[in-house]
Amino acid sequence: MRALRILLIVVVILGGLFVAADRLAVNFAEGEVADRLRTTEGLSSTPEVAINGFPFLTQVAGGTLDDVEVGIRNYEAAAGDGERIRIDDLRADMKGVEFSGDFSSATAASATGTATIAYDELLKAAKSEPTDVAPGITARVVSLSDGGGGKIEVGLEIDAPVIGTKQLSVLSTVSVKGDNVEVRTDSLPDLAGLDLAENSVREITDFQQAIDDLPGGVELDKVEAARNGLEISVRGSNVRLAG
């Protein structure tokens, strides 16, 4: 019995040492991947990286990590014409990550994620300067906000001799069209007394925002209006984390 107790104690100690070594190794690897990702993507701050699954060392031996989560608080994506747009709280879950021995390169077989685009960022793509929609009549977008039910509420300002300056709003549907977020008004407001062509008004209310060059090559998948901005989903395959 004494020998058995000693054996159990040894097993517990060795198990504890293995767990400690495994956690030290995973913390080191997370730091290496985060630093590489910051350099590769030109980020202003170090992203959050979490390598899931236990034990980590057996995954390393196999050359593939089962599940890696990445978080980037602020990311400046390409928005067309040399412009940039801020993407907030980008979270991506990477599956089947193959890596080099020194973590200088890492590629995920697949990735899914979420992020947010604030309404004030999206507003930059709208026509916020007064634009002619008919002789003597101008219109502009003055605000974007949550319209409920996954819709965007687009605030408009119409300036015309007949009605003076009038504030009104329309509900718009938001969708993904390739690398663009598209905002399209469901129905135009009643502008009694103004002879306005629908196409002229839609040149103001309807617009697109390009979102390209997302981290690792992930692409837009879905988008929906929410309280604090647009909630976007991204996905990709053969996604580069580093290298």
Q: Which residues does 42 contact at the CB level (< 8 Å), separation at least 6?
A: none
Q: Over 80: is that where the pLDDT of 177 sits?
A: yes
Pair of tokens at residue 183: 């905002």
Q: Which of 3-7, 126-130, 145-149 is the most confident on average?
A: 145-149
Q: pLDDT tens for residues 37-71?
A: 888 888 888 999 998 887 877 887 777 888 999 99
| Residue 146 pLDDT grade (very low, low, confident, very high; cuts 50, 70, 90) | very high
Q: What is the 3-state secondary structure (H, E, C) of 79-143?
A: CCCCCEEEEEEEEEEEEEEEECCCCCCEEEEEEEEEEEECHHHHHHHCCCCCEEEECCEEEEEEE
